[in-house]
Structure 1
Amino acid sequence: MSLSAEELLSIVRNYFRPDKDFNYRPESSPEHERFSEQWERALERMDQWRAFLRELRGALPDFDIRNVTAPCDSCFRCATYPKEKTRPITSSWSVVGCLSILAPVYTVYGVHCTYTYTDKGRDLSEEVFLYSLPPEMQGPASIIARGIEATFGAEALPREIAETRIPLIVEPQEPPETTLFHALFISEPEKIP
């Protein structure tokens, strides 16, 4: 049963605020308290998430698969990287799978990183593919998606719903830029280790 944008907005309003009223207070907002409690409940599924990652490693033997879950985000998250690496690395890519802890939805997206070397060090530029993945990312993305669906019973969040603008702050995203994607998964999808 798919959830509508309105139903998902109703859910995420429990965990995020439309203002910064609690930013400089010693106490947490009620929304932050609920978010922390939701993570406590989600951690009970961490063994299941780790088992899923082990299965994924078997299904994608040519990839390094890492658990990149962070309790500041709204999801369990994994990143897959092709094992072939040349030195110096000038570019790399990853397919990222996200399972929301707030609603029974998931997403899979890609990140392409380009490294430029200068006498001052290495510069990094990232390109995020939230919906239309390049051909090399499509195979791993499909395997991750099928695995999440089979293991957790979650549904893919449709693009049109993911892009729904919401009047909430999901640091560092603020209205009018904040979307359901940010609230249900991660506010900075380009940030992967």
Structure 2
Amino acid sequence: MTKLKIYEYPDHVLREETRTITEFDDGLKKLVEDMAETMWDAPGVGLAAPQVGKSLKVIVVDFSRQSGKEEDCMPLINPEIIEFEGSQVDEEGCLSVPELFANVTRAQKVTVRYQDLEGKVLELSTEDRFAVVLQHEIDHINGILFLDHLSRLKRNLYKKKVKKRVRVEQHD
């Protein structure tokens, strides 16, 4: 397994259109393994392929709370939310949007249709925190960052901070 680079806002790969997976091969399995290692190392609770520079519809999520196993990773290939219900506000952060945590409103319950590593179509219904994680990661494969869910003021303050950081890094 290889730890991958995590791309950060404002890198363009985070906004690119992602491709649907049609080949369920060893290359896909290797990507999922590398993404899982990267997620655990970060540490994070989810990771989408665009965050590691791949414009593909692939996410991995920490499934250990649901399974009761340590470091249990669930890959979801070509995931899409097909049902959602209710509303909840939860604090979110993102490996690609460092140093920002904010409350975001999401659906409380979601049903996600996805494929496993063999290409089998499955559905998963979940709620509360795990539903938030799935919505956050699925947003990534649609070019949406949690930053996009914030007020204009919070978004602009963060963008200003990033621009300043980039200018400082360019002068070093």
TM range (shorter): under 0.3
Higher helix share: 2
Name the larger-Rg structure.
1
* TM-score normalised over the length of structure 1: 0.25
Higher strand share: 2
